[in-house]
Structure 1
Amino acid sequence: MNMPNGFTKAELPPPDIDWTRLNDYRMGRIREAMAERDVELAIITNPLTMRYAVNYHEYMQFQARIPLMTLMIFADGPVVFSGAFIKDLDHVTEYIPMFGLAPFLAGFDQVENTRKFVDFVRGRLAGKGRCRVALDRLDASAVQGLMQAGFEVVDAPGFLEKARSIKSAEEITLCRYAIDVAQLGIAKMHEAFQPGISENELWSILSQVNIAHGGLWSEARMLASGERTNPWLQEAGERRVQKGELLGFDTDMVGPFGYMSDISRTWYCGEGKAPDEFRDLYKRALDEIEHNKANVRPGVSFKELVDQSFRHPEEFVAHRYPCIMHGVGMCDEYPYVPYPQDWDDIGYDGIIEENMMICVEGYVGSDRGGSGVKIEHQFLVTADGLEQLDSYPYDENLLR
């Protein structure tokens, strides 16, 4: 098939997946987490959790802003889906109309729709007493209504994130495929990388390759050039890349089947070896990753990872990345391991477990200005340590 100039066809065939086994595993993880916390009902509106629970993936970005749909998982078995557009999902036992728990659907007075929702929950949990109901994300009116009805309302995101953190064999296969798609996109970006191309133009290539393979979106548009690489977290814009400068990017790509590829590279826009200043930054970023990844193994605590983490000279501390490493699956996920300077404010402890998926970060940018270097690898935690899942090569012109 001939494609329009500049467009990529789906070059990578999808993996062969046992979807029943995958869906059973994911629902099983949720039910185990509910049982551990004595939760009688989990009410889910987060589209990523909906996909994890029952593989529902329609209108995900719309659902993230306006909760049209509500998924209710009852501890005693039933799974009720309110407002679903597709009605052939594994594990869903009942489909009902949407409740309209948002101003877009209910207007500015949500009292009546909230009452219908609370009455439904009360009816389904009749005879359970003051049981525990876990909420994903709901407006205050729905939360207050459930509390006034006598339910003990608790947060669901924490235990749902923990449930998602241990990947099945099928999930690992899908993550590998997402990374393959991302690396194909990166290769095509690299082919187009030259002085004069805009950041937006270059970034669009990754998005097009992802969508051509059935992928979804990127969590951010993290691509920056020149001095916009420092500090990091400046999204792609209209700026055009100039010869003799650096360009860095972070895929943050929610790919085919809803699994994420989160990898970063930095390139030099020029011929021959990059200036010493750039190569020094590049080496520091690589050293940070090599040091921190060596500490990751099943059983190590997050606090130990922080205490043993790589230390940069003072000039690179102020512009440090938000975290040393983090979990990944359908998006950035639990756990989140911050730098030592941030532990007291946002740190929490936990244990690295086998079959977690972890991204290890490396970013270096001086508080005196100039450019920065961003590198990130995605790993699977194995019984022996880490298996690196991405393989796109480093820029030879930046290696010492």
Structure 2
Amino acid sequence: MKKSLFPLLLGGLGIGTTEFVMMGLLPDIAANLHTSIPTAGHLISAYALGVVVGAPLLVIISSNYPPKKVLIGLMMIFTLFNAFSAFAPTHFTLLLARFFAGLPHGAFFGVGAVVASRLAEKGKQAQAISVMFAGLTIANLATVPLGAWVGHHLLWRYTFGIVGFIGLITLLFLWLWMPALPVVRKGNARSELRLFKSAEAWLVILITAIGTGGLFAWISYIAPLMTQVSHFSANSVSAILVLAGFGMVVGNIIGGKMADSFSPVIACTWLLVAMASTLLMIYLFSGIQLVSLALTFIAGALSIALASPIQILMINTSKDAEMLGAAVTQAAFNIGNALGAFFGGLPIVAGMGYNSPALVGMVMALFGVGFALLLVRRSAKLALAIS
């Protein structure tokens, strides 16, 4: 790994920690701030809303500045508001802090993806991007369980202090090791916004928001799935989440290699097919403990394997607006998170079992396959027209 990519990995670690640790901290935050768990759940929504708003906005605002300065500025915002989260006195102030902490999330990954591809050797762009996303996988494997443990056994505020410390370390290495790449902006804000007039770009957004939403339908309800369907003890859930996190580490490597070896859209298509198949098997066979564990590892791998191919696909699709496109993809991931959790919860409310969200996820993944095949068809027609 090039040392210039290490600050991007650290940034991914901090972002992944603050995004996913909240699920494990909700009961402790609710008790400490004297509110209900569903109300505390709004903190997750506030962060996701910050990602969706900040991803395009901050990239457009910062596009005239060198990437190194942009990344440092984004990480400063991230560090400041995560530190503020540790001291927020009320639920409302914490809600605001979570929103503002989410603003730089998509922009950091968007700018970071383009920077990683520029720093990579020819033919290894996706593998370079996967280094940044490795931070997310390490977070799910190590710092998210650690942060949840600290928040439960000590105080949830300390967890956000840890995230703020990771942000400070990231700032240090961005300053030391990130090369001063020149600004590469071929248009202006108006020309970059033409990205949203591109049918191909919208297909990538739909692949991300609907297709990957299928996995969020599964993982949002993994705890009751494991305890009520697979019949593991509640104390085993943390270890099972670590297993899923290890799968993410493996999947991140596989996804990067696939996107460099095949067309990114072909890699996305096959990974979505694998996702749909895995979710169907989770629905059918989660009652068998060993099979359930194996499927958890595979689903964890697929959940992150798509990240690098989708980023490369959007970068290739959004010519002259690569950073905006890559950032919008991150916003779409968070929309997928929200949609997956919402649609996955509907059959549970209707009285079906806790394996039913996986069936919803399978359908969403198949929609993703459909959008990918439409993109393949449009790309073939466009290539034929140009020739």
Question: Which TM-score tier does this pair reach, normalised by the shorter chain?
Answer: under 0.3
TM-score (norm 1): 0.25
Is the strand fraction higher in 1 or 2? Answer: 1
- Give the structure, 1 or 2, with the largest relative contact order (CA under 8 Å, sep 6 or more): 2
TM-score (norm 2): 0.26
